[in-house]
Amino acid sequence: MKRENHTVVGEFVLQGFSSFREHKIILFVIFLTLYLLTLAGNVIIVTVISFARHLHTPMYFFLGVLSTSETVYTLVIVPRMLCSLTGLSQPISLAGCATQMFFFITLAINNCFLLTAMGYDRYVAICNPLRYTVIMNKRACALLVSGACSIGLFVAIIQISSVFRLPFCDREVAHYFCDIRPVMKLSCADTTLHDIINFIISSLVIVVPMGLVFISYVLIVSTILKIPSARGRKKAFATCASHLTVVVVHYGCASVAYLKPKSENTRDQDQLISVTYTVITPLLNPVVYTLRNKEVKDALLRAIRKNPLA
């Protein structure tokens, strides 16, 4: 529906968690703790993988790239969110909002396809073990990572050019960061076409990688069930457990956030869902891969023992 009295909007105000004013201090402490744990966990993973030569394999290469991407992803969103909880948040310019949205879209999609690449890696390792080193060579790994990043960049450019071509009447974004839907709601123009395009793109970048991971695990499970020894089956399942845990939570949160009807949830519910994939999910990566992965834990313990300050 078009709005009257169009005014030129040069900046936005992020309303943040205005519905939770009485709990802002508690939320700040919780989110700051989760943020610091996420940064520390991902930095530890990248450092351990970099210095432990026996971890220089495709699986850990993808894990290192994913941890780096998750770190930048949280840096784009969480600091400004924490500022809004302290009351120190300043208005964000249209250029600043577009920049935040650009990095958010790029990294979110990059993470989706990195998880798909990791699923393909597990498929090759279990279903084609004798050809694993040939198929998953350095060039193939580099192509998978660059492909994931390129898709994210391509989609982000399309989305940003579409959203910020709209005229804006209102300046108060009902969210704690510049996400697509809350920003488009401020437009004076009819956004029906943009909403449809946004839904199609969101569906493709979530359903396609999720479908590829699902196919990978169908083939993986069918191969594992053919292993004669119970010990062999257990070991094969163990190599996939960490990745599968992250995949279920990651794609689950993304699906709920972007594939549901616009009016299904209230603003508070939307924000809580957003917190899940911007604050909690990035922490899941280092927690799952360190607590459930014996190789990473052993490498970390060896690094601690070698540290003269330890």
Kindly report, residue by residue over 100-156, the tens digit of the pLDDT: 999 999 999 999 899 899 889 989 988 888 899 999 999 999 999 999 999 999 999
DSSP 4: S
Written as six digits, the tokens of 206 are 């979530």
Half-sphere exposure of 288 (CA within 13 A, CB side): 21
What is the pTM for the complete model shown?
Answer: 0.86
* Listed range (66-70, 129-133, 289-293) with the worst mean pLDDT: 289-293
Question: What percentage of the chain carries pLDDT values higher than 90?
Answer: 25
Domain ranges of the chain: 11-300
CATH 1.20.1070.10 correct for 11-300: yes
- What confidence score (pLDDT) does residue 293 get? 64
pLDDT at 308 over 60: no
Residue 3 pLDDT exceeds 50 = no
* Token pair recorded at residue 198: 């946004």
- Sequence-ordered alpha helix ranges (H) in the chain: 24-51, 58-86, 94-127, 132-135, 138-163, 180-184, 192-224, 230-258, 267-275, 281-291, 294-306
149-202 pLDDT, tens digit each: 999 999 999 999 989 888 888 888 888 899 888 898 888 888 888 888 888 888
Q: What is the CA radius of gyration of the chain?
A: 21
The pLDDT of residue 262? 59
Predicted confidence (pLDDT) per residue in 82-105, tens digit: 888 887 767 888 999 999 999 999
Coil/strand/helix, residue 13 = strand
Residues in the chain: 310
Query: Of the candidates 220, 252, 209, 212, which has an alpha carbon nearest to the alpha carbon of residue 111?
Result: 209
